[in-house]
Amino acid sequence: MLTDYHMHLVDDDVPYDDDSFTLEHVGRYVTAAAAAGIDEIGFTDHVYRFAEARDWFDHALWQADAVGDLGRYHGAVSAARDAGLPVKVALEVDYLRGREQQIGEVVGRYDWDYLLGSVHWVGGLAVDWELAPIWDRYPADEVWRLYCEDLCLAAASGIYDSMAHPDLAKVFGQRPDQPQALYRQIADAFEAAGVCAEVSSAGYHQTLDELYPDPQLLAMLHERGVPVTLGSDAHAPQRVGRDFPRALAELHAAGYRTLTVFDGRERRQEVFDV
Ligand SMILES: [Zn+2]
Ligand SMILES: [Zn+2]
């Protein structure tokens, strides 16, 4: 079985419009997935695009984005699933240290098939966004240390089912001095928390031409029996399942044979073909 468990209904700099939350628009992704041999897709729009998350963080960029209606999003994807389309209702939810209670309260208002956890912001600065860069503030080693700390706290928070693009801090090519120690910290934290790790083919297209996570980290996750979800992080239908054969080959080489499938936050393992 093949799944793509990370995609967005609109691009990050495109506002939602009346077409965004229609069965027709959701159907475009389903059609693209079927053409790519994918059995099931999960929608994971960014929680920060919705007004319900506005008061989590007072940064001007965050405030400007938080205008959508989470109920409308949830309703549109749920309607597609309930109409029999092979779709999961999910959300990519930023982790913001100290805001766990608010985050849990907002996502708890709706039923989800799974929740992806993402660390995009650390200490009020962005890891993967040039407009509010943490990289100007701290040396790379310190950014990585802070990023890993928050990623491990996010995993332990109990809010999330799978941790998205776990080594996102490599996005601009900055590396830690001692990657092994940090990777071990991440793998131990995921194992202890019982969360999945996301394997994301988006990394092939973000400067580095590398999978998230790094092969060394992927091997450590496999050693500890941490299950994986697979995602393209598509922001348009034609990106669904992008470069999955390459990602699956890497997963297979690391020893993985199954992908995690979610249903109402219950998970099971399904064998994938390479
Ligand atoms: Zn993300
Ligand atoms: Zn995403």
pLDDT of residue 184: 98
Ligand approaching nearest to the C-alpha of 234: 2
Tell me the CA–centroid distance for residue 274 and ligand 1, in Å.
26
pLDDT of residue 208: 85
Q: For the chain, give every domain's residue range.
A: 3-271
String of DSSP letters for 77-138 = HHHHHHTT-SEEEEEEEE--TT-HHHHHHHHTTS--SEEEEE--EETTEESS-TTSBSTTTS
Tell me the per-residue pLDDT of 42-56, one tens digit each, with 9 for 90 and over.
999 999 999 999 999
Tell me the CA–centroid distance for residue 7 and ligand 2, in Å.
6
Residues flanking ion ligand 1, Cβ below 5 Å: 118
> Low-confidence residues of the chain, pLDDT below 70?
none
Residue 225: CB atoms within 10 Å: 7
**Cα-Cα-Cα-Cα dihedral of 11, 14, 17, 19, to 10°?**
-30
pTM > 0.95: yes or no: yes
Dihedral pair phi/psi, residue 117, rounded to 5°? -105, 130
Using the structure block, give the residue that is written with the tokens 């495109």: 14
pLDDT of residue 183: 98
pLDDT of residue 55: 96
Residue 176: CB atoms within 10 Å: 20
CATH architecture of 3-271: Alpha-Beta Barrel (3.20)
Query: Half-sphere exposure (CA, 13 Å, Cβ side) for 20?
Result: 20
How far is it, in rounded angstroms, from Cα 231 to Cα 267? Answer: 16
Tell me the per-residue pLDDT of 143-175, one tens digit each, with 9 for 90 and over.
999 999 999 999 999 999 999 999 999 999 999
Strand 121-122 to 162-163 pairing:
unpaired
Q: How many degrees, rounded to 5, is the angle at CA 167 between CA 249 and CA 29?
A: 60
Tell me the CA–centroid distance for residue 198 and ligand 1, in Å.
11
Q: Letter for the amino acid at 167?
A: D
How far is it, in rounded angstroms, from Cα 228 to Cα 258? Answer: 8
Maximum Cα–Cα distance across the chain: 50
pLDDT of residue 267: 98
Tell me the CA–centroid distance for residue 62 and ligand 1, in Å.
14
